[in-house]
């Protein structure tokens, strides 16, 4: 029986050959009149080196992905919100999938989403799925919420402009759970500034909220709220993520709208 792994051997010139692939591990070169034996790589060694390079590259990509996620996903629970963790209870996740599949177009056309519905509809989960999928594709995404942004802004010696500039630097910004928690004049001003700065740079924005369209379009709102909501509605296609209810028709109509945006 033939033994596949055999020992290296010397050829008639005295150069070492690989016992496995049979290729040279040494060769002779002439240098200023003298002959030298130098090492070279046999096929097995070339293959091993390539595999090592590829492994190191994969590890480097994983490291960069971890870095992008650590910076961009501002809450630990966002890390688990991925398409593969979906329990298939809400078909509206298809919108999120389409958004990711058409990301280049969404980015170019500056299409954002306003994911609406009560607690438990999965709207934040959908936004997280988009964030994770795009981060895994190498895109830079920031997913955060306004309480966090406002906390940063009011912390000691914070540079508000720098914080806003940083948020504009992301190709996609996702604001989870827009409810405008603190209705102070300062808070509303900063919320508007963040949204408007992305509007001016024509960069997409995804927002999740418990607010209804009627609430956001209400004429009873004060000016500060009105200008925030009207900007959002200019930038984002409203998607109702809840189940069957009185808002169903509206959701269906908008669903067609976003599908048209995606395919058109
Ligand atoms: Zn070999």
- Residue range 70-106, pLDDT digits in tens: 999 999 999 999 999 998 888 899 999 999 999 999 9
Residues 163, 146: Cα–Cα separation, whole Å: 12
Q: Ligand 1 center to residue 39 CA distance, Å?
A: 13
Residues 120, 8 share a domain: no
Distance 57 CA to ligand 1 centre (A): 24
C-alpha–C-alpha distance, residues 262 and 164, integer Å: 29
Regarding whether 152 and 29 lie in a shared domain, the answer is: no
Residue 71: burial class (beta carbons within 10 Å; 0-12, 13-18, 19+): middle
Q: Do both 18 and 94 map to the same domain? A: no
pLDDT reported for residue 31:
86
Cα(22) to centroid of ligand 1, in Å?
A: 6
Look at 256 and 66; give whichever has higher pLDDT: 66
Cα 42 to ligand 1 centre (Å) = 5
Which of 72, 106, 135 is the last residue in one of the domains?
72
* Alpha-carbon span 85 to 121, nearest angstrom: 15
Tally the residues of the chain.
Answer: 264
pLDDT digits (tens, 9 = 90+) for 178-192: 985 556 888 899 999
For 156, the token pair is 């000691």
Q: CB within 8 A of 203, min separation 6: which ones?
A: 110, 168, 170, 171, 172, 173
DSSP output for 153-182: HHSTT--HHHHHHHHHTSSEEEE-S---SS
- One domain, residues 66 and 172: no
Which has more pLDDT, 146 or 249? Answer: 146
Residues 26, 38 contacting (CB under 8 angstroms): yes
Is residue 117 a contact partner of residue 125, using CB atoms and an 8 Å limit?
no
Q: Give the residue from 31, 52, 72 where a domain finishes.
A: 72
CATH code where residue 146 lies: 3.40.50.300
Ligand 1 centroid to 55 CA: how many Å? 20
For residue 240, CA distances in Å to 118, 132, 254 come to: 9, 21, 8
Instruction: Tell me, in angstroms, the distance from the centre of ligand 1 to residue 2's CA.
Output: 17
End position of a domain, from candidates 72, 99, 124? 72
* 17 Cα to the center of ligand 1, angstroms: 8
In percent, the amount of the chain with pLDDT more than 90 equals 75
Task: Compute the distance from residue 59 Cα to the ligand 1 centre, in Å.
Answer: 26
Query: What is the whole-number distance in angstroms between the Cα of residue 119 and the centre of ligand 1?
Result: 62
Question: How far does the centroid of ligand 1 lie from the alpha carbon of residue 54, in Å?
Answer: 19
Structure tokens at 199: 């509007």
Q: What is the pLDDT of residue 156?
A: 83
Distance 14 CA to ligand 1 centre (A): 17
The neighbourhood of ligand 1, an ion, using CB within 5 A, equals 18, 20-21, 42, 44
Q: Are 74 and 174 in contact (CB under 8 A)?
A: no
Same domain for 2 and 90: no
Q: 37 CA distance to ligand 1 centroid (A)?
A: 18
173 and 237 co-located in one domain: yes
Kindly state the tokens that stand for 187: 């808070």
Strands (DSSP E) contained in 25-148 are: 26-31, 34-39, 112-116, 141-144
Q: Are residues 248 and 117 in the same domain?
A: yes
Ligand 1 centroid – CA 30 distance (Å): 24
For residues 61 and 137, state if they share a domain: no
pLDDT digits (tens, 9 = 90+) for 28-73: 999 888 989 999 999 999 999 999 999 999 999 999 999 999 999 9
- End-to-end CA gap in the chain: 66
What is the count of structural domains for the chain? Answer: 2
Do 142 and 65 share a domain, yes or no? no
d(CA 198, CA 201): 5
Ligand 1 centre to CA of 73 (Å) is 46
Q: Cα-atom radius of gyration of the chain, to the nearest Å?
A: 28
Do 96 and 18 fall into the same domain?
no
Distance (Å) from CA 45 to ligand 1 centroid: 6
Domain range for 61 is: 1-72
CA pair distance 264, 70, nearest whole angstrom? 35
**What are the Cα distances from residue 35, in Å, to 9, 17, 31, 229?**
20, 18, 6, 81
Are the beta carbons of 113 and 206 closer than 8 angstroms? yes
Same domain, 52 and 94: no
Distance 21 CA to ligand 1 centre (A): 4
**16 shares its domain with 121:** no
């Amino acid at each position: 029986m033939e033994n596949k792994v055999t020992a290296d051997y010397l050829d008639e010139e005295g150069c070492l050959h690989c016992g496995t692939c049979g290729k040279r591990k040494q060769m002779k070169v002439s240098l200023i009149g003298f002959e030298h034996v130098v090492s070279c790589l046999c096929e097995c060694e070339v293959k091993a080196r390539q595999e090592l390079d590829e492994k190191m590259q994969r590890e480097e990509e994983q490291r960069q992905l971890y870095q992008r996620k650590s910076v961009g996903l501002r809450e630990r629970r966002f890390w688990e919100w991925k398409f593969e963790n979906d329990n298939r209870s809400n078909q509206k996740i298809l919108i999120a999938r389409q958004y990711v599949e058409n990301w280049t177009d969404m980015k170019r056309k500056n299409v954002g989403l306003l994911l609406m519905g009560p607690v438990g509809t999965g709207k934040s989960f959908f936004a997280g799925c988009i964030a994770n999928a795009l981060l895994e594709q190498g895109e830079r995404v920031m997913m955060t919420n306004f309480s966090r942004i406002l906390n940063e802004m009011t912390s000691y010696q914070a540079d508000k402009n720098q914080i806003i500039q940083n948020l504009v630097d992301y190709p996609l910004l996702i604001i989870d759970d827009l409810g405008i928690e603190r209705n102070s004049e300062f808070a509303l001003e900063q919320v508007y500034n963040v949204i408007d700065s992305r509007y001016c740079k024509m960069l997409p924005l995804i927002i999740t909220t418990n607010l209804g369209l009627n609430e956001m379009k209400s004429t009873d709102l004060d000016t500060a709220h009105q200008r925030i909501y009207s900007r959002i509605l200019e930038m984002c296609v409203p998607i109702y993520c809840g189940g069957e209810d009185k808002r169903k028709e509206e959701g269906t109509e908008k669903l067609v709208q976003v599908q048209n945006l995606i395919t058109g």
